[in-house]
Amino acid sequence: MTALLAAVEYGGDFTLPPVGELFNFESALPLGINRTVVLTLLATLAAAALFLVAFSNAKVVPGKLQLVAESIVEFIREQIVLQIIGVDGLKFVPLLTTMFMFIWFNNLLEITPFVNFPTTSRMALPFFLALLSWAVFVGLGFRHHGLGYLKDVAFPPGVPWPIYVLLTPIELVSTFVLRPFTLAIRLFANMVAGHILLTIVFLATHAFLALKFPGIIVGVLTLIAGPLAVGFELFIASLQAYIFVILTAVYISGALHPEH
């Protein structure tokens, strides 16, 4: 806002487009294919290409690309699945790896040159991924414990009976409603905020660097802030992918071992 007011005061033409223009793209192709869909498929293709090329001719002594892909799988397997779920969670490594790569690559579009748009800042992907996570952990819970899963969720052990009057509704809503909701909103909101942040920084640099003193000072500051913001968003993009997957692993673990 400060930058905006400064631009007006010192005669700059810094204006931000309506927020919808930053996120909503019209469908220009059949089957509802718009810029978001194309970018989603490209990100998916890039993630698939990384793994297919890395593992198509996997060597015992890995090359650089194979080492990168192996490190990602190793990270998901050792730091998330084994740490949180345990050995019986190893069968979820492909799913969680896919989830991580899909979110991460779609997030990274935010700082990809000439793209600069995270497809996860549209609700479709966070909604689907949260729904998938919900379906997996709820399905696992009922599959492993039957209706007892509902009882395990609604009545956590070790709590005095009167407390259940308050706790049971909270637990039911928290597990079956709020979990997918918060998963989707967290990812969506972070990427929306990141995209708006970068847009402001880049547009401000473009507008204010053309001004004379003192407006140019704002331009210089936003020019310096640009790379920092990109670095920060790289961190956020990676962190959000990690958080989404680790929470899914926590929910899966809770469904497999509700007594914990």
Partner 1 sequence: MTTSLVILAAEGGSDESLQLLPDTAELIWGIVGFALLFALLWRVAFPSLNQMLDQRQQAIQGRLTEAEEIRTEAEELRRQYQEQLRDARSRADEIVEEAKSDAERIREQKVSDAEQEAQSIRERAREDAEAERGRLVQQLRSQVAALSVDLAGRIVHAELDEQQHRSLVDDYIDRLSSMN
Measured from the CB atom, the residue of 93 and 153 that comes closer to partner 1 is 93
Tokens 């913001």 belong to: 229
Pick out residues in 201-220 that bind partner 1 (CB under 8 A): none
> For residues 157-186, which are near partner 1 according to CB under 8 A?
none
Size of the site for partner 1 (CB under 8 A): 53
| Comparison of 18 and 158: residue with beta carbon closer to partner 1 | 18
Among 102, 149, 208, 251, binds partner 1 (CB under 8 A): 102
Nearest to 121 by CA among 222, 225, 194, 53: 194
Residue pair 73/93 in contact (Cβ under 8 Å)? The answer is yes
Token pair recorded at residue 172? 């039911």
C-alpha pair distances (Å), 8 with each of 1, 3, 202, 211: 11, 9, 17, 11
Distance CA(56)–CA(63), nearest Å, equals 12
Site string for partner 1, 45-64 (x = CB under 8 A): --xx--xx-xxx-xxx----
Query: CA-CA distance, 37 to 194, in Å (whole number)?
Result: 20
Of the candidate residues 10, 75, 127, 164, the single one contacting partner 1 (CB under 8 A): 127
Report the residue from 63, 86, 94, 146 that binds partner 1 according to the rule CB under 8 A.
94
Which of 10, 70, 142, 197 touches partner 1 by CB under 8 A?
70
Q: Of these, 81, 85, 111, 129, which contacts partner 1 (CB under 8 A)?
A: 129
- Nearest residue to 154 via CA among 169, 142, 140: 169
Nearer to partner 1, 40 or 248 (CB): 40
- Angle at 124 (CA atoms; ends 251, 196), nearest 5 degrees: 100
Cis peptide before 169 (omega within 30 of 0): no
Name the residues that contact partner 1, by CB under 8 A.
1, 4, 15-21, 23-24, 27, 31-34, 36-37, 40-41, 43-44, 47-48, 51-52, 54-56, 58-60, 69-70, 73, 93-95, 97-98, 101-102, 119, 122-125, 127-129, 132, 192, 196
